[in-house]
Amino acid sequence: MHYLVGDLGHLFVITSFITALISSFAYLKASTILDLQKQEEWRWNGMISFYLHAVSVFGVCVTLFIIISKHYFEYHYAYNYSDLKLPSYYLISTFWNGQEGSFLLWMFWHAILGIILILTNKFWEAPVMTVFCLVQAFLASMILGVVLPGLEFKIGSSPFILLRDAMHDAPIFQAQPEFIPKDGQGLNPLLQNYWMVIHPPTLFLGFALTVVPFSYCMAGLWLKKYSDWIRPALPWTLVGCGILGLGILMGGYWAYETLNFGGYWNWDPVENAVYVPWLILVASLHTMITYKNSETALKASIILVISVFISILYSTFLTRSGILGESSVHSFTDLGLSGQLLLYLLFFMIGAIVLSIVRWGNIPSIEKEASVYSREFWIFIGATTLCLMGFQVLAGTSIPVVNSILSAFGFEKKLAPPTDAIAFYSKFQIWFAIAVGILSAVGQFFWWKKIDRKILLNQLFVPAIIALLVSVVVVNIVKVFNLPYALLLLAGFFTIFANAKILFGLLKASPTLSGGAIAHIGVGMMLIGIMFSAGYSRVVSLNNTGLQISKEFSKEFNRDNLLLFIHEPRTMWGFDIEYLGERLEPRYHTGFIRKSDIHQTADKNLVIAKRDMKIGSKAYQANDTIRVQGENTFYEIELRRGNKKYQLFPRAQINPEMGGLLASPDIYRSVTADLYTHVSSVMDPSEGEEWSKLEELRVKQSQEFFANDYVGVLESVDRIYNVFGIELTDQDVAVKAKIRLQGEKGDYIAEPVFLIRDKMVGRIPDDVSDLGIRVTLMNIHPETNEFSIGLNTRQKDWVVIKAMEKPYINVLWIGTLVLMVGFGMAMSRRIREFKKMKAKGLE
């Protein structure tokens, strides 16, 4: 038992909580005391406590990582989320697989951001860090894992809890308190994906970044510096928009590659919980920029910045309190933190609202109405649209909360989320998206504070006409005969062309300012890409044989799926498509192994090579042991057109514990469309195979023969001294025949064994599943130098696949990259601005 590391970790957790509180208090003093000397002293205290806090947070991370990477399975966290087989890069994702670890990840980013804040902005340090540390203290309390004596009230859930304490009812710990499991439960195979290594840190960095503008806003209201906070807060908002957006898209991309629901977005509450804050964050970015340029929209900025942070807290509450339990497929399990999370949400919500109301009358605002031909008017409409867009998603996602509130007031719990989430959200979101497209074209033209109707129409005329023409052409060529889809296409093109015009103008004058135009071009491309890939996704694996795959299947299944027998080519989507057999994946390097080239062992993660082969970059010799990812089977499918060949490897996890088939797609990417393919039914290895009657033939060494229409040759027969790990005695005799079978796609080796043990004959046949042949060494005839070989055949291997075409999905991914480039350019511009201000001593 390694108690020390866990105790140390727990100590760090407690220290981090206390230092966050102390730091907040010291900074509070520093913000309110008037005496300059004392002010400096308190600031110093606050800073030191925050550094101590940051050290404790890093300490927690390091100790937790030691527990995971050293495989201390006496700890609940290591036991539940990792095992000995995990490669080291997935040990990192183990870190945030549990809820405690994801809180920790969030705290980690806060600690780093706090240090940056302290180092960069002396003027705002004290008031901003007061709020910031308070947020951090609440977060630290979530992993505190301390039971208040006398009250039986548990604060937080510690990641350092021992397995025996987490499962104190388990009989093994009653009998043996010192028991340590040999291996852990392992990481969910679906999460063993490189996107799951980088997606959560990105997302949580985005979450963490939203707290900075919020702290600035609170500090500004508190110190009655109603407008000064916007300038230092703006770059943070901008970075937050970029990072959170990137995190969301990575999540979507992971879902597209790994899950088999057929898309990148499923309107699941967990996805909505990050989408809504992001929309509001983008809206707040726009109003803050407006304020910086024209001193308007200050009140709107304050409301939005507060709303962003509240929506982040609300999302955290939604996904972690267990309240979604009956409406989300993959919400977190309930750790009993719902009360604490609600307190966290209400504390900052009520605090921020009360502070705003108290100060509201004093916030300067411009009485004059914004003109219809002003930048701020259009940006304001745009921000409002984004907020309504978020509101619609929030309304649908919050149904379980409404239910809980209603039942708290004695109403019977009745409402459930809409059954068809995609239809429910899409029917509104598409119209909002059209508005966003049009607004981001028009709004961008108000670079100058005011332009009149004539100039505006003049400027917009060309891009509008081009957009209209291009849209008409595309609508007719691609047949987008659906009004909202066609309008979305038009809005997307309008944004692209309008912003392209601005971009060309800027490239000559001041290229550093072009971030906004580039970002909006990215948005336009994303709208178009989403419209096509989601709106015109269609099934291409249509069963056109006229034969049912099985009468057990539903009508839709028989229509939309394709049965492929091994080595029997069919046509699909203009390709010849051929199933080539089952493959395994080596655990520690890339490549695929033909299942027919290996012997299985009792451990599904260990196989033995039948022949010399090169897998990826690694060469194996016959009888080498290969470590594989035993739970995964890949189905190699070849696409051919002309003399071009492409391989697809859709995956299935067959797991009796999971009771079925867990399919992951593989995607063939072409310029204009993706072919998204996953298996929808596979052969069950546990079901007995039906073999034909045994056919026996006598052959000599090197003699060719026919087996199930394939040419076979008996290459050698050798005496062996152990059979699959069993040592034989002197009295026993065992021989192994090596038979080479020539398949359509290369040779296969079958190695049946004939043995005499304790004077009894035993035969161990060998199957070549790709060819559907079982080979048995029946007998040896030394008198004629011949061998009897038994052959059984069976129905060939098969797989049922479903394939979908996702047209123009690349437009979406390219648009994403363009958007990120735009964000990056805008960020570097703001950072340069900040440095200039700092050099002048203004920050």
Q: Which residues bind another protein (CB under 8 A)?
A: 76, 79-80, 163, 166-167, 169-173, 179, 181-182, 325-329, 333-335, 369-370, 372, 377, 381, 384, 388, 391-392, 395-396, 399, 413-420, 424, 428, 550, 552-554, 557, 658-662, 680-681, 684
CA nearest to 29, candidates 20, 17, 21, 38: 38
CB of 612 to another protein, least distance (A): 36
CB of 657 to another protein, least distance (A): 8
> Quick one: 80 or 215, whose CB is closer to another protein?
80
> Quick one: 171 or 574, whose CB is closer to another protein?
171
> Quick one: 26 or 663, whose CB is closer to another protein?
663
> Quick one: 398 or 499, whose CB is closer to another protein?
398
Q: Which residues of 174-212 are buried (b: 16+ CB within 10 A; e: fewer)?
A: eeeeeebeeebebbebebbeebbbebbbbbbbbbbbbbb
Q: HSE of 742 in the Cβ direction (CA atoms, 13 Å)?
A: 10
> Quick one: 325 or 616, whose CB is closer to another protein?
325
> Quick one: 574 or 659, whose CB is closer to another protein?
659
> Quick one: 349 or 399, whose CB is closer to another protein?
399
Classify residue 518 by burial, with Cβ atoms within 10 Å: 0-12, 13-18, 19+: buried
CB of 552 to another protein, least distance (A): 4
> Quick one: 299 or 745, whose CB is closer to another protein?
299
CB of 564 to another protein, least distance (A): 16
> Quick one: 54 or 438, whose CB is closer to another protein?
438
Give the CA dihedral 500, 503, 504, 506, nearest 10 degrees.
160
Q: Are 738 and 717 in contact (CB under 8 A)?
A: yes
Amino acid letter for position 26:
A
CB of 29 to another protein, least distance (A): 40
Q: Tokens for 475? A: 């609508």
Alpha-carbon gap, residue 578 to 14, rounded angstroms:
60
> Quick one: 632 or 792, whose CB is closer to another protein?
632
First to last CA, the chain: 52
> Quick one: 157 or 776, whose CB is closer to another protein?
157
Give the CA dihedral 274, 280, 286, 291, nearest 10 degrees.
-130
Residues with Cβ within 8 Å of residue 691, at least 6 apart in sequence? 774, 792, 793, 794
CA nearest to 674, candidates 511, 808, 777, 559: 808
CB of 55 to another protein, least distance (A): 30
CB of 527 to another protein, least distance (A): 20
Alpha-carbon gap, residue 819 to 150, rounded angstroms:
55
Q: By three-state DSSP, how is residue 567 classified?
A: coil
Q: Tokens for 638? A: 């070849």
> Quick one: 173 or 347, whose CB is closer to another protein?
173
CB of 365 to another protein, least distance (A): 12
Sign of dihedral through CA atoms 269, 662, 673, 423?
A: negative
Q: Are 772 and 758 in contact (CB under 8 A)?
A: no
Q: Convert 767-794 into a string of H (helix), E (strand) and C (coil).
A: EECCCCEEEEEEEEECCCCEEEEEEEEE
CB of 240 to another protein, least distance (A): 25
Alpha-carbon gap, residue 143 to 536, rounded angstroms:
45
CB of 559 to another protein, least distance (A): 13
CB of 660 to another protein, least distance (A): 3
742: alpha, beta or left, given left = phi > 0 and alpha = psi -120 to 50?
beta
Q: Are 377 and 445 in contact (CB under 8 A)?
A: no
Inter-helix orientation angle 483-509/453-478, to 10°: 130
What are the CA-CA distances from residue 92 to residues 10, 72, 257 (Å)? 20, 15, 20
CB of 141 to another protein, least distance (A): 19
Alpha-carbon gap, residue 298 to 709, rounded angstroms:
81
The total of other beta-carbon atoms located within 10 Å of residue 407's CB is: 12
CB of 81 to another protein, least distance (A): 9
> Quick one: 391 or 536, whose CB is closer to another protein?
391
**Strands 598-600 and 593-594, sheet pairing:** unpaired
CB of 5 to another protein, least distance (A): 21
Q: By three-state DSSP, how is residue 408 classified?
A: helix
Q: By three-state DSSP, how is residue 304 classified?
A: helix
CB of 339 to another protein, least distance (A): 16
> Quick one: 416 or 457, whose CB is closer to another protein?
416
Give the CA dihedral 27, 29, 30, 32, nearest 10 degrees.
120
CB of 322 to another protein, least distance (A): 8
The residue whose two tokens read 């990840």 is 105
Q: Tokens for 616? A: 């990826």
> Quick one: 80 or 102, whose CB is closer to another protein?
80
Q: Are 825 and 514 in contact (CB under 8 A)?
A: yes
Q: Tokens for 815? A: 């648009």
Q: Which residues pair with 403 in a beta bridge?
A: none
> Quick one: 550 or 672, whose CB is closer to another protein?
550
Alpha-carbon gap, residue 508 to 540, rounded angstroms:
47
